[in-house]
């Protein structure tokens, strides 16, 4: 590198100090911004708080790491290190055009886990994040993953076909696709009603919870969220569930109007070699938020078992 003859920065000591300052500033900015760039150039936003055994949280569609606030605070106070990321195309991560598929999601997690050098990790996934957690554990988690928790998860797979006759019809997902593409802002308000069971008699509707769901959804990119509908509805995790040998806890509400428990949680537990199933009477798909006290307690017991 050359510099002007009369520039003060030409002095070797001053130039070295300036360069060191720039390096330290860049490192500090990475720490503050909490963004990590994966191999294809996508920036992944993440949160990393505390010390102790790591718990890595995987969020559902079309949300972000903010959806884990109740869990991150609870486990942080219990002495765990808590990590959550915004999946590519979601939240504060890059609004990706390509790579919106489950294998890439899992690969992104693998890069982030390696970057943070996380070991003996508990991976907790909600809805789409449950699929991401189990796919990551099987493909990349050897010697790094201790246990997995599937909360209202899409596993083994949701869509109705000849092997899954009681699954969700394709027309339902086509409707989600249409509304996401053509009326996302209104649809993301409307879907909170069944998501949190706010259409059930006697349930107290909390507008703040609805607004927070809508806020998270609208932060993400429409193309990535549109692509993710096929990912969460049609990805088959049967072989992932069969092959994983570590302990897996499966949590689901029997009033889940988004991901029916009979074709997901019950079947997932049957496929697992070392699984435990808990079905909660009356709990909705959004139970990590609405029933956080119960969910957190059961996850903690599973971790400590």
Residues annotated as part of the active site: 127, 256, 285
- Are 88 and 109 a contacting pair, CB within 8 Å? no
- Are 36 and 46 a contacting pair, CB within 8 Å? yes
**Nearest-angstrom CA–CA distance, 196 and 209:** 9
**Nearest-angstrom CA–CA distance, 21 and 265:** 52
Structure tokens at 212: 């927070």
Omega of the bond leading into 51 within 30 degrees of 0 (cis)? no
User: Interior CA angle at 286 toward 281 and 288, to 5°?
Assistant: 85
Give how far Cα 40 sits from Cα of 98, 111, 163, 255, 283, Å.
10, 11, 35, 40, 39
Longest dimension (CA), the chain: 79
* Residue spans of alpha helices (H) in the chain: 12-33, 69-77, 102-116, 128-140, 170-190, 192-195, 207-219, 222-234, 238-243, 265-271, 287-290, 292-304
Structure tokens at 33: 């911004």
């Amino acid at each position: 590198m050359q510099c002007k003859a009369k520039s003060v920065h030409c002095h070797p000591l001053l130039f070295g100090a300036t360069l060191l300052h720039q390096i330290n500033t860049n490192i500090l900015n990475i720490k503050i911004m909490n963004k990590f760039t994966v191999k294809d150039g996508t920036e992944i936003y993440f949160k990393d708080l505390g010390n102790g055994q790591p718990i890595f949280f995987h969020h559902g569609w079309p949300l972000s790491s903010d959806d884990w606030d109740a869990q991150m605070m609870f486990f942080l106070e219990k002495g765990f290190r808590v990590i959550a990321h915004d999946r590519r195309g979601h939240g504060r991560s890059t609004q990706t055009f390509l790579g919106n598929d489950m294998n890439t999601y899992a690969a992104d997690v693998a890069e982030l886990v390696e970057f943070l050098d996380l070991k003996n990790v508990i991976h907790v996934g909600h809805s789409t994040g449950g699929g991401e957690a189990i796919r990551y554990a099987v493909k990349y988690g050897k010697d790094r993953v201790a246990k997995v928790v599937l909360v209202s998860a899409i596993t083994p797979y949701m869509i109705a076909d000849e092997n899954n006759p009681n699954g969700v019809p394709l027309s339902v997902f086509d409707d989600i696709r249409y509304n996401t593409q053509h009326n996302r802002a209104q649809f993301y308000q409307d879907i909170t009603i069944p998501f949190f069971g706010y259409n059930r008699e006697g349930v107290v509707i909390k507008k703040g919870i609805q607004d927070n769901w809508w806020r998270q959804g609208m932060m993400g990119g429409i193309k990535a969220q549109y692509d993710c509908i096929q990912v969460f509805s049609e990805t088959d995790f049967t072989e992932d569930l069969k092959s994983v040998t570590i302990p897996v806890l499966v949590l689901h509400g029997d009033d889940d109007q988004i991901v029916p428990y009979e074709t997901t949680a019950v079947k997932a537990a049957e496929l697992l070699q070392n699984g435990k199933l808990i079905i909660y009477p009356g709990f909705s798909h959004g139970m990590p938020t609405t029933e956080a006290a119960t969910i957190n307690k059961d996850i903690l017991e599973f971790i400590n078992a």
